Structures are given as C-alpha cells and as structure tokens.
Structure 1
Amino acid sequence: MRRLTSVLMIVTCLLAGVALAADELIPRPSRPARSYRIGVLEPNMAIPHFVAQAYGFVDEAEKLGARVILYDAGEHKNVAKQVSQMEDLIANKVDAICIVPGTTATAVAQIDEAIAKGVVVVNVNIMSDNPKAIGRIRSDDYELGRLQGEFIVKALKGQGNVVMIAGVSGNSAFIMRAKGFKEYVAKHPGIKVLSEQWTPNATDKGLKLMEDWSQAFPKIDAVYSGGDRLTIGAVQALLAQGKQPGDVIVTTVDYNDDTERLVREGWISAAMVQVPVTMGRWGIRVALLALEKKPIPPNLLTPTYVVTKENADQIDLTAVRQPKGWRPPM
C-alpha cells in the first residue's frame, strides 16, 4: 500500500508563514568609501547550491561597490586545486577572501598565510578547521539532520528501516547533518538504520547506492540524504524499480529546480531548505565590516526551513536560487 506522506511540516527560523522576510542577523552595511577586491573560493559549482551562493557573493559585492574574483575547485575533494586558487588570490593581494572549503582540512595553512599578510578571511557554509577565519556563516547543519530524523520518525510512526546517503566525507556540513539525524533516530528503537554510506554529492552516486541497497535489503521504508544531488539519483533508482511516489519516505537537503519538481510530485517527502544566496551576501558583508574595522555579529546561522508538497506554493525562492539566466563570472 502506498504510504501516506502528509506530515505536519516543521519550520525553523520563519516567523510569518513560509517566507524569507525575517529580520537579518547582519543587515547590509553602508557602501564603503573605497572599492575592495574580494576573492571567493567555491568547492563545486556543478552543484546548484554553490551557483546560487556565488550569485549572493557577486550581487552583494556589486551593491556595495566591491569586485569579486570567483574560483571554482570543481569538486569537494579537489584540495590541491583549491589550495592553489587561494595561493593565487594571496599573491594577487586581494583585500579579503571568502572561502567555502571543500573539506574542513582544505587550505588551513593558506588561511594562516593570508591573515599574516593582512588579508581578511571569511569562512562560509563548510567550516574550516582553522579557527582564525572569521564569520563562520552557515546553516545549522545538525538541525537539518535532526529535522530529517523527526520527519522520518513521524512518517513511519516510529517503525521502519532506513538507509543513509550521508554525503561527502570530511565535510563539516554533511558530518553534522548525519550526526543530527542519527542522534535523533537513536531515541526511537523502532527505527533501524540498515546502512550509512559516504560518497561525493553526485546524482550517479545516489543512483548506484540505491540500486545496491535495493538488492541487499528486501524492505527499505525511508531514505535519508545529506544533499539533493544524491537524492535525485536515489529517486531515479526507485522509479526504475516500479515504486510510486510515497512508497518510500525520502528526505533531503537543498532545493534546486529538479528537487522542487520531485517534491511537488511526492517522490521527495520533505526537503530541508538552505538559503545559499543569503550565505553569499552575508559573507561579503562580514568581509567589508572587517575591512572597515566595524563590529561583526556572532553566531551567524542562516535561516532553514522544511518544504513538502503541501507548502511548496508558499515558498519565496529569492534567497534560495539565483535569478533565471544568471551565470557565474568565471
């Protein structure tokens, strides 16, 4: 029998409906008297989340009279490439660097080098092991995982088998999401985690894992996913197996065009939505505040919320996606 997926939505950081008009923790500062050059390091712009984030960096910089020099490492684990890009920015004497490291250990030494040379370094989205980088702008990734656990437990009424597509190893965002999920479901003994696998955030990886698990386990009731590219692949596998929307509870993080379609069709039961455009905007604001010797607010956690097919029409996407047709200035 098709499992009903209509579960009361869980919303965090929203006070008025499902909208992104909440007061910002870090309002846009005044335009500085001089124009600054800010390097931005993204880990993998094949993923829509990071394209939207790049838009936030670039658009906010333009609004505040700054210029962005944008680099893409091409994959989370391209550590050597991202290190080389950071060294290039340091050599070019940019005023600030906003780094979204592919892993927590990426460019730790280069952050020290940049700071020693007077370059402001702002850490965004994926947390660095180097505590000297300022800002630490991110979603509450632990909460994103916990919310998935809460949704799945409620949808399964506390009984069922779950598989975990954890995401990229060595990456703070995926690590904390998985931790939040596991610690929540551990309180519900009727929920059994059959398998947890770490893998690059790519559609083909999610597809292959779901195919393998379907062979290994006769009954899978729910799928936890740390990122929506993986989820899309998992749904493709379920579709190929003749499943119907709602037969398996599927939850994920992020909300690109394909994810939205699958949410509306019922294949993805709930998406934990981040605001990558806001992350980019806040990164530029923190960089400029630091350069202008102005105070920076602590605890810069960006809003997150849950989208299901029941509330999908109520979502304001301006902080989630770049405008249609926008391309990164690479």
Structure 2
Amino acid sequence: MTKTIQKLLISAAITTCMTAGAAAENWYPYPVEVWDPPFNMESPRSTMDYKPLPAASKPWEICVSFPHMKDAYWLGVDYGVAQEAERLGVKMQLVEAGGYTELNNQISQIEDCVAAGANAVIIGAISFDGLNNIVKEISDKGIPVIDVINGMSSSDLSAKSLVSFGEMGGKAGSFLAGLHPSGGEKAKVAWFPGPAGAGWVEAGNTGFTGAIEGSAIDLVETKYGDTGKEAQAKLVEDTLEAHPDLDYVVGTAVTAEAAIPILRARGLTDKVKVVSYYYTPGVDQGIRRKQILAAPTDSPVIQGRIAVDQAVRILEGEPFEKHVGPALKIVTQDNLADFDPSSTLAPSGFKPVFRVN
C-alpha cells in the first residue's frame, strides 16, 4: 500500500463522511458565462442560466484532487463538490496534495485514484503546465478530466469549470485604480498574487498589473508565496519593514486575512488598507468589520458543483458545456448587503469532506 493511499484512507476515516441521498438545496439556475471556442480565456463569451442534471443514472466514482485544504477558499469548493455529488447520487473521493510545492504528490495521488477505479477526475491544479502528461494518460484511457478553479494548459481536458483569474485580479486592480485615478492622489501598493507558477496566479498578476496601469498606483513590491497563512504573514511582515510608507496590501485572501492582525499590532490599521482578489469567510468577516475594503467573488461553491455535474453529464452521454464559469462580482463595504454568500462560502461549522458514498 502506498503512502498516498494510506493518507487517503486515514483522511477518509478521520474526517466527515457524507452519504448520498441526504437533502441538498436547489442552487440552480445560476448565471454563468460560456467560452466558445472553449479552453481559451480570450474567446467570446455568452451568458446562460446553468441547470444541472436532476440525478445520475448510477453511482459513478468521481476522484477530486485539490492543491491543499489550508484555507477556507478550498473548503468552499469542497462543500460544492460534496453537496453536488450527494445531490446527484454519485460517489466522491477527495485528495489534497498539501500545498503548491507538492506537484509530484498531486500527480501520485491522481494516479492512485485512477488505479482505484475512478470513472472521472476533477483537478484543481497546482501547476498550469505540470499536469499535462497525467491528464493525457487519463484521457487516453477514456476517463473524463475536468479542470476546476485553477486552470491547466492541456488540450486533452474534457471540460473546464472556472473563471478568468486575470479578471479577478483585474477587478481588484480596477477597484484601486478607481480610488486613485491618473492625476489623483498617489498610493503605494504591495501585491501578493500567490504561489509562482500556478496558472491562476500568473493570470491574476497579469490582470491586476494591467488594471492599475496609467493610474496613480505605485506598485512598490510584488511577492509570490504559498497560500499558507504563515507564509503569507511573513511576506507581509517583510514588506512592511521594507516599505514603512505603504498605503495598501493587496493579494490573496490568505494575505488579506494574515495582514489584519499584523497591521493591528503595528498600529497601522487606519493607514494601510487591505484588498483581496478572491473571497473567503475571513475576507467576508473583514469586509463586514471594515478591515478589508473589497474582494471579487468567483463563486467557488458553484464552480465545484458545476464540475461534478459536467463529469456526470460526460459519463452519461448528456449534453454539456465544455468551458463555463460563474459571472464575477465584486463585493465592497457598500454593497455587502446585496451579496449572497451561499455561492461562495461553506456554511459555518462545515468540516472538510473527503468521501461521499
């Protein structure tokens, strides 16, 4: 028995197990965008209301691979995946690699999942290019592979359930540029896009830097790093030491969450403002408490749900959208009351689900 399978079995044993058949709320129809041609974020888009299948015809085995479960963003995706597997009546096994440095572990876990009999694989990728070989191997066996959240460059994918993280970064950048337009009050910004090499990070960085171009924003620092809270906290600490006149910390949700107590301890809460470029419960709380100015949401719960529905549709020969993602929204302190968190956040008290039977 490999260490990966041992970990998988232990995780399944010590975390919540869900059984198919329990009631799940109706989350649809949900407004989404569809890329055509698919797999190219520059392709034209149309809008539609997404409606999943009412149920699967058999209890297919779905393997789901995440980069990690270190933050509540992936907990939200897990909630969406588990709930949709439960609603459709299929089995689900989730494995998590342990972080964005663990590409080989993710590949090994996926190989073990397929060897154990997975009918379809859903991947939240650690690397934009690094999983292409394993995707081809799986696809060549006739097993559908769905790209969820992070993005991969493989042409052998069956479908994508994701949004443009370039636009996510762009929305955060546009929000700042609106506060500091060209000719307006200058602002010094430190930017923390996430782990270098991940597809969503590179896209987010391009979107953010493009959106602030020509504004009064002075980008004084860009720091890449894993989305563990300790790693991001150290990056924020180092940046504040190097730039005592900083005006904004902008970056991942983990960066934003880590920055709040650091700024408080340094007496900088009123001077250094915080913006995230995606949404988590900590970001939601920060906006409600006026500690974070804004964050776009890509509805990760819905992305997880759609990925499971895509997998089942492909397995059952039903029509499916090859490249679809929820419409993006930016949540601010001013429009928070209009935001429905069920599309984005797991319910309070939700524990990671690694197995649906």
- TM-score interval (norm. to shorter): 0.7 to 0.9
2:8 — aligned with what? none
2:282 is equivalent to residue 258 of structure 1: yes
Q: For 1:303, which of 304, 312, 327 is the aligned residue? A: 327
Summarize the alignment of residues 69-80 of structure 1 with structure 2, pairs less than 5 Å apart. Answer: 69-80=93-104
Q: 1:20–1:316: 8 Å Cα contact kept in structure 2? A: no
**Match for residue 79 of structure 2?**
55
CA distance in 1, matches of 2:99, 2:236: 22
Mapped pair 1:240 → 2:271? no
Code of the residue aligned with 1:192 in structure 2: it is: D
Q: Give the Å deviation of 1:254.
A: 3.0
Could you say what secondary structure the match of 1:301 adopts? strand
Does 1:178 find its partner at 2:205? yes
2:194 and 2:31 map into 1 onto residues whose CA distance is 32
Contact 1:207 1:235 in 2 (8 A): no
C-alpha separation in 2, matches of 1:286 and 1:21? 15
- CA drift at 1:21: 6.9
Quote the Cα distance in structure 1 between the aligned partners of 2:117 and 2:142: 9
User: Residue in 2 aligned with 1:216?
Assistant: 242
Bigger strand share: 2
Of 288, 301, 304, the residue aligned with 1:280 is: 304
**Do the aligned partners of 2:278 and 2:297 also contact (CA within 8 Å) in 1?**
yes
CA RMSD of aligned residues (A): 2.0
In structure 2, do the counterparts of structure 1 residues 149 and 253 end up closer, same or farther at CA, with 3 Å as the change threshold? closer
Distance apart, 1:128 and its partner CA: 1.4
Which residue does 1:15 correspond to in 2? Answer: none
Q: Secondary structure at the match of 2:342?
A: coil
- Range with greater deviation from structure 2 (286-295 or 36-45): 286-295
Does 2:176 match 1:152? yes
Percent identity of equivalent pairs: 23
How far, CA to CA, are the matches of 1:180 and 1:307 in structure 2? Answer: 18
Q: TM-score, normalised by structure 1?
A: 0.87
1:231 alignment partner in structure 2: 256
Moved over 4 A (4+): 19-22
| Structure-to-structure mapping, 1:17-96, within 5 angstroms | 22-24=30-32, 25=48, 26-96=50-120
Q: CA deviation at 1:22?
A: 4.5
Q: What SS does the aligned partner of 1:193 have? A: strand
Deviations 1:154-189 (A, max 9, x none): 22344221111121111111111111110121222x
Distance 1:65 1:218 in 2: 55
* Mapped partners of 1:309, 1:184: distance in 2: 21
Deviations 1:85-140 (A, max 9, x none): 11011111211011111121343211111111121111111111212112221122
For the structure 1 residues 109 and 198, does the alpha-carbon distance in structure 2 shift closer, same or farther, using more than 3 Å as the test? same
Residue 20 of structure 1: how far off its partner (Å): 9.2
Contact 1:164 1:193 in 2 (8 A): yes
The runs of 5 or more residues in structure 2 that have no matched partner are: 1-26, 33-47
The separation in 2 between residues aligned to 1:237 and 1:325, in whole angstroms, is: 26
When residues 262 and 324 of structure 1 are mapped into structure 2, their CA distance, relative to the original with a 3 A threshold, is closer
